[in-house]
């Protein structure tokens, strides 16, 4: 799990892409985030978020297959309790 500083840094990359509907299943939820990053031409948000969650370098992330990257992205969101991070950031006015 990330420390507070890194968690807030992660939220900086996720906030613009966070889905309004939290009732979706995990794959739809993550798909919405990733689709938003692509549609807004903010691919670096995906890479940077993944780097924070995994500790991997940009080069290591770029070398991953699409499936490997998405798997790590999902695991990172779950491991770092991203839903609670979003809730916390909004409650304290960070979002």
Query: Distance between CA 36 and CA 58 in Å, rounded?
Result: 20
CA gyration radius, the chain: 12
Q: What is the pLDDT of residues 75-95, one digit of tens each?
A: 999 999 998 999 999 899 986
pLDDT in the model for residue 86: 92
Tokens of 12: 């900086």
Of residues 10 and 30, which shows the higher confidence score? 10
CA-closest candidate to residue 70, choices 83, 81, 61, 79:
61
pLDDT in the model for residue 41: 96
Q: What is the pLDDT of residues 15-72, one digit of tens each?
A: 999 988 777 677 888 889 999 999 999 999 999 999 999 999 999 999 999 999 999 9
């Amino acid at each position: 799990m990330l420390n507070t500083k890194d968690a807030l840094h992660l939220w900086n990359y996720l906030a613009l892409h966070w889905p309004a509907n939290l009732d979706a299943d995990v794959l739809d939820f993550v798909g919405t985030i990733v689709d938003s990053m692509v549609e807004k031409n903010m691919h670096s948000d995906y890479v940077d978020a993944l780097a924070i969650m995994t500790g991997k370098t940009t080069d290591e992330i770029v070398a991953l297959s699409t499936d490997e990257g998405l798997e790590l992205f999902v695991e990172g969101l779950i491991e770092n309790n991203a839903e609670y991070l979003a809730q916390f950031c909004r409650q304290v006015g960070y979002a």
